[in-house]
Structure 1
Amino acid sequence: MKVTKEQSAANRQALVDAASKLYRERGIAGVGLAEISREAGFTHGGFYGRFASKEELAAEACDLAFEASLSRLAAQLDKHGGDLGPFLKRYFSAAHRDAPGGGCPMAALGVDAAREGGLLRESMSTGIGAYLHELATHRPDGTVVETPTADDEARAIGLLATMVGGMILARACAGAAPALSERILRTSLEASSKAA
């Protein structure tokens, strides 16, 4: 039975959705194509013909994760009049730390992008740039600027580095040293809130 273009597009999207979640949970090297296909509801052969390579799938999965993350950031800024506080509280929560599959792509895939290079690195770089732009154009006083200044950009870089670094450290020690992980979350939230 021939698959329609719409169904083929939906099947492809299901693979990207599954890859985005699984890659953030376990890293690029930690997940095989067969597992991604199963998660999406297909056999291993479902991957072939839809993607040129695993690298292409990883980059699209990263793009999807950034799209969702940037959408959450923009929605929170709009909802709270530019106040980043509620977003930061959610970001530095135990729930976000413990569920990387639906969370920040930078904290989950940044090291993979540095190691893998290629399309994934390009996707990560584009996503980071978009994230920095969003943070830089939303100033702590609630104003939104079209073109950020060098100070706006420096503030955004410091803020994002604290966010991503704090989450990576909190996740790294959550199992072996939960009290330390909690302290890292609290301290990173405080530092980010001052910068925001």
Structure 2
Amino acid sequence: MGRVSKAQAQENREHVVAVASRMFREQGISVRIADLMKAAGLTHGAFYKQFASKDDLVDKAIAYAFEDPTAHPPMPLEECAEGCEAVRRTLIEQYLSTWHRDHTGEGCPVAGFAADLGRSPDQATRSQDVYVKALRNRAARLGSDDNGMVQLCTMVGALLLARATRGNPISEELLQAARAALTETGPGRSEPQARRLTEAE
């Protein structure tokens, strides 16, 4: 077999990173290199020609996940002068959907990597800048100040709980409850919160 060209080697490397990004979100970063390379259609030995270590691949896969333009759901990058509330509601409905719950590998990397980063302090330290930047950007697109962060926490938490209880009716109940709290009574407010604020005015 002839030598792989630099262009082909780069293409293979990018393909492995994309496959790893999906598999790590689906199965966690404990996925074996042999299984990952098989899924990528490459040999196990080819891995060490492309990456310094598995940690190197994990770092690249996490960074890729936040840059992937096909990741679901899309986060609007542009400022919206009109219809911002409609965009926010659509984003929340997409995020808290059964499709997003059931397609972990194609879903939000904030939720997809949360458990692994919580279990691996070393990985969390290496990926912290990328992860924290993504958290702040996503929160800012949902609302100003702490309100956006509250909404993001509600969305990610509800999604993780819905995935943990998939197959049980409570899974859909969790998604519905979070959608209602974030869209039916105002940005980031649950009904009790909205009632307390009204009574205090």
Question: TM-score band, normalised by the shorter chain?
Answer: 0.7 to 0.9
CA RMSD, Structure 1 to Structure 2 (Å)? 2.5
* 1:83-138 alpha-carbon deviations (Å, 9 max, x no partner): 211111111111110110100112121110122233454325423423422432x4
Matches of 1:113 and 1:153, distance apart in 2: 25
1:166 matched to 2:166? no
The amino acid across from 1:61 in the alignment is A
The amino acid across from 1:113 in the alignment is L
Q: Residues 77, 122 of structure 1: CA spacing in aligned structure 2 closer, same or farther, 3 A cutoff?
A: farther
* Matching residue of 2:171: 181
Query: What SS is found at the alignment partner of 2:50?
Result: coil
* Matching residue of 1:100: 104
The amino acid across from 1:60 in the alignment is K
| Identity level (%) | 33
Query: What SS is found at the alignment partner of 1:73?
Result: coil
Alpha carbons 2:72, 2:108 under 8 Å: kept: no
Query: What SS is found at the alignment partner of 2:164?
Result: helix
* Matching residue of 1:74: 76
Q: For 1:141-152, list aligned pairs within 5 A.
A: 152=144
The amino acid across from 1:88 in the alignment is I
Determine which structure has more spread, i.e. the larger CA radius of gyration. 2
1:130 matched to 2:134? yes
Q: Which has the higher contact order (CA 8 A, sep 6+)?
A: 1
TM-score (norm 2): 0.80
TM-score (norm 1): 0.81
Query: What SS is found at the alignment partner of 2:76?
Result: helix
The amino acid across from 1:89 in the alignment is E
With 16-25 and 107-116 compared, the bigger mean Cα shift is at: 107-116
* Matching residue of 1:51: 51
